[in-house]
């Protein structure tokens, strides 16, 4: 039997969405220890799974690995399409579990495109492989000046920077009970429209932000400077997305982010991917005050939701094998 445990991730934004610059995308994000996906796999003659999405990934994994089948059981999961990377983490966890159950090497980065993952951002794959704070290389823009590559015909962008974050840091993650974020064909169409008109000056501003503020703050474990930098990265990304999502942040997330940012317990707040998950950076000493601030923010906006206090995950997904 193989058991795989993988955590969520936050996506702070991209380094470039402008076709006028040499590289496109370049994801920036961090691995979280929770919420988690936990699943077990046993060799079988066919594919059997208690979750339809996991079953779909298992079918692809069995074909890729040329093994007869697998019996999958999903013990923990988190919500899909809320900005926490559940799709990539589930796909790679299933691949790793199927491989280990059959004594194969998963080679998740190599095989992720065949599962439809890692086409734009490499953050999810890097979070699965090694955790931590990650900045990836993105793609050469020339591949996207006409039609995007056919599904699976890409290489997952490799990290150009990776840092371990202090164990005392916490991310307060607020998930409002709102419509799921964009995904699939709808997300593809939105990104195509954004890239067609994205201001290249924002790309240049982000390049300076990442090099001069964000990476030094991550390397030095400077919480307030790191929080300020990821919040600014989110605002700059939101300027690209404003026409698509109805503002710099998807309404009413801007009000939530403003409330989080106003709390003395939180430094740096933003929207993860298309939302509705929003985050704020704090530390273990102020975590409960940050949690209260997030609950208050939900109440002031008038929506229900879930508030999590999450540790950064500075290691890759955990895989265990046994004879059970």
pLDDT at 180: 83
The answer to whether 5 and 317 are in contact (CB under 8 A) is: yes
Residue-range domain boundaries for the chain: 2-321
Q: What is the CATH number of domain 2-321?
A: 3.30.230.10
Report the chain (324 residues): mean pLDDT per 10 consecutive residues. 98 96 96 98 96 96 97 95 96 98 96 92 97 96 67 85 98 95 79 89 98 98 98 97 93 96 96 96 98 97 97 97 79
Instruction: Show the tokens assigned to 199.
Output: 């201001």
pLDDT at 317: 98
pLDDT at 129: 98
pLDDT at 195: 86
pLDDT at 151: 66
77-82 long-range contacts (CB < 8 A, ≥24 apart) are: 77/37, 77/51, 78/8, 78/35, 78/36, 78/37, 79/175, 80/53, 80/180, 80/183, 81/180, 81/181, 81/182, 81/183, 81/274, 82/175, 82/180, 82/181, 82/275, 82/276, 82/277
DSSP state of 96: H
Instruction: Show the tokens assigned to 53.
Output: 């999405």
pTM of the model: 0.94
User: Facing residues of 109 across strands?
Assistant: none
> Distance of alpha carbon 43 from its chain centroid, rounded?
30
The answer to whether 316 and 129 are in contact (CB under 8 A) is: yes
pLDDT at 189: 83
């Amino acid at each position: 039997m193989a058991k795989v445990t993988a955590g969520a991730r936050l996506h702070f934004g991209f380094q470039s969405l402008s076709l006028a610059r040499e590289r496109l995308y370049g994801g920036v994000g961090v691995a979280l220890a929770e919420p988690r996906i936990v699943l077990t796999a046993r060799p079988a003659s066919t594919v059997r799974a208690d979750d339809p999405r996991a079953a779909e990934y298992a079918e692809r994994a069995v074909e890729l690995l040329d093994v007869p089948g697998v019996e999958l059981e999903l013990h923990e999961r988190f919500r899909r399409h809320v900005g926490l990377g559940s799709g990539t983490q589930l796909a790679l966890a299933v691949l790793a579990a199927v491989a280990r159950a059959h004594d194969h090497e998963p080679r998740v980065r190599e095989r992720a495109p065949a599962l439809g993952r890692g086409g734009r951002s490499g953050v999810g794959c890097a979070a699965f492989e090694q955790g931590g704070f990650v900045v990836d290389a993105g793609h050469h823009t020339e591949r996207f000046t006409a039609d995007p590559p056919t599904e699976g015909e890409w290489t997952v962008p490799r990290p150009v920077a990776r840092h371990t974050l202090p164990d005392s840091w916490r991310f307060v993650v607020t998930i409002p009970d709102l419509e799921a974020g964009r995904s699939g064909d709808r997300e593809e169409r939105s990104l195509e429209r954004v890239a067609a008109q994205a201001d290249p000056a924002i790309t240049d501003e982000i390049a300076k932000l990442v090099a001069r503020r964000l990476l030094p703050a991550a390397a030095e474990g400077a919480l307030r400077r790191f929080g300020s930098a990821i919040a600014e990265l989110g605002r700059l990304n939101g300027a690209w997305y404003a026409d698509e999502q109805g503002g710099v942040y998807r309404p009413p997330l801007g009000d939530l982010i403003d409330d989080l940012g106003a709390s003395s317990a939180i430094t740096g707040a933003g929207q993860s991917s298309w939302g509705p998950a929003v985050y704020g950076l704090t530390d273990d000493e102020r975590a409960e005050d940050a949690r209260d601030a997030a609950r208050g923010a939900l109440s002031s906006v008038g929506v229900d939701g879930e508030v999590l206090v999450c540790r950064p995950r500075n290691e890759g997904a955990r895989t265990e094998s046994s004879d059970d």
